[in-house]
């Protein structure tokens, strides 16, 4: 899919309004049947000869003036030849001959988009969408036009659907991200206008700082939010997560304990407290906390890994192997996958399982050949 700005010259998508005159062969050479001409034109397109294709499609339309397919083919090849001034009429003729023909409404919408006639463009593109509701190209053009018209909030839905249908299309992803970013900016601006010193504004700024890998600034914003909203457990999780990224585990523990006090039995708080103990404190206490996290239905992969690691530290290797294997069976992140196999190498050796230890070591070697994400990504599991 090729998506272009309405202010850029495009050999395929520029628009014009002039009517296309019919072109016929001379009387000495009667025209071939329309079907044969259409086939010949298609072959010319395939061979990269649009001028010859245009000639054949014109003749096909002259031979069968009511052929929607011939009119559509002519309109499309004219766009390809950068003849937008001639393309509209055959496209409109195609729709008049067959209102349900696929493609003509979309190309008319693109032509209007190129002239910044956004209402007309949307009317045509939505007509096409009613014929092809699962066509990601049509949905993307709708989103593009809404963006160009200054309506990013109307662009997100069609672009989200297009991305779901074609998740690897870079153009779709770009416009989807742009639409959501513009909507987010507008919402944050409204939030700032209504409450520049509100706890919601401070939390929003903290989240932005966190995404920008600025944990110190993020903590300051989250703490400002806590001063205004001291009974929100999520804010203490935000603070704890940032302290973990700074390896300030004592401060992180205090934040998670406050989170647990406000929300007893919270699986994320239990998981993080147990994880910190396994990593830096009392592994036995960490195992107890992580077992509580399991009972509270914490995320399977991370809690299984740290529970396995904690059990290994306390000499309970058989149980450790079971939890580490459960982590691997739960589709963990690359970081956790590598860590679980690494732990299993030692655990299997302790359990006198040399074949399993060798297999685990081979998996570690294989994973070390690829880059791993930042381990800080594991600090904020969602329950």
User: What was the pLDDT predicted at 190?
Assistant: 95
Final residue in a domain of this structure, among 73, 98, 132? 132
Question: Considering the domain boundaries, does residue 236 fall inside one?
Answer: no
Helices (H), the chain: 34-46, 50-63, 68-80, 84-97, 104-114, 118-131, 136-148, 152-165, 170-194, 199-211, 215-228, 233-245, 249-262, 267-280, 283-295, 300-313, 317-328, 334-350, 354-368
Question: Considering the domain boundaries, does residue 85 fall inside one?
Answer: yes
Residues spanned by the domain of 125: 34-132
Question: Considering the domain boundaries, does residue 213 fall inside one?
Answer: no
The total number of structural domains in the chain stands at 2
How would DSSP label each residue in 165-204? HSTT-HHHHHHHHHHHHHHHHHHHHHHHHH-TTSHHHHHH
User: What was the pLDDT predicted at 373?
Assistant: 53
Final residue in a domain of this structure, among 109, 132, 155? 132
Looking up residue 59, the CATH number of its domain turns out to be 1.25.40.10
Over the stretch 76-110, which tens digit does the pLDDT of each residue have? 999 889 888 899 999 999 999 999 999 999 999 99
Q: How far apart are the first and last CA of the chain?
A: 38
Final residue in a domain of this structure, among 97, 132, 167? 132
Question: Considering the domain boundaries, does residue 162 fall inside one?
Answer: no
In the chain, which residues have pLDDT < 70? Answer: 1-32, 371-383
pTM (two decimals): 0.71
């Amino acid at each position: 899919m090729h998506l272009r700005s309405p202010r850029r010259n495009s050999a395929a998508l520029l628009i014009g309004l002039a009517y296309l005159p019919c072109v016929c062969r001379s009387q000495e050479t009667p025209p071939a049947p329309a079907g044969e001409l259409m086939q010949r034109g298609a072959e010319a397109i395939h061979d990269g000869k649009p001028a010859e294709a245009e000639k054949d499609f014109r003749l096909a339309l002259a031979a069968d003036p009511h052929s929607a397919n011939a009119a559509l083919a002519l309109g499309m090849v004219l766009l390809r030849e950068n003849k937008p001034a001639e393309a509209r009429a055959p496209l409109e003729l195609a729709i008049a001959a067959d209102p349900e023909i696929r493609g003509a409404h979309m190309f008319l919408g693109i032509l209007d988009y190129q002239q910044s006639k956004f209402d007309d463009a949307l009317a045509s593109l939505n007509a096409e969408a009613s014929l092809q509701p699962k066509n990601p190209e049509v949905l993307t053009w709708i989103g593009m036009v809404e963006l160009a018209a200054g309506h990013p909030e109307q662009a997100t839905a069609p672009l989200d659907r297009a991305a779901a249908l074609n998740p690897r299309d870079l153009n779709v992803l770009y416009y989807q991200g742009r639409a959501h970013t513009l909507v987010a900016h507008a919402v944050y601006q409204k939030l700032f206008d209504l409450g520049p010193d509100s706890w919601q504004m401070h939390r929003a700024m903290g989240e932005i700082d966190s995404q920008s890998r600025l944990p110190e600034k993020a903590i300051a914003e989250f703490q400002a939010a806590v001063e205004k909203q001291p009974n929100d457990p999520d804010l203490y999780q935000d603070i704890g997560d940032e302290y973990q990224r700074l390896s300030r585990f004592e401060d992180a523990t205090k934040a998670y304990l406050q989170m647990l006090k406000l929300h007893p039995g919270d699986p994320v708080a239990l998981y993080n407290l147990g994880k910190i103990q396994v990593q830096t404190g009392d592994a036995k206490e960490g195992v107890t906390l992580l077992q509580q996290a399991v009972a509270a239905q914490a995320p399977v992969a991370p809690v299984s890994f740290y529970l396995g690691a904690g059990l290994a530290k306390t000499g309970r290797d058989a149980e450790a192997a079971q939890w580490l294997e459960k982590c691997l069976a739960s589709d963990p992140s690359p970081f956790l996958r590598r860590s679980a196999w690494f732990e299993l190498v030692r655990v299997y050796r302790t359990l006198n399982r040399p074949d399993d230890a060798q297999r685990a070591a081979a998996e570690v070697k294989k994973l070390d050949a690829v880059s791993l994400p930042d381990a800080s990504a594991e600090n904020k599991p969602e329950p």
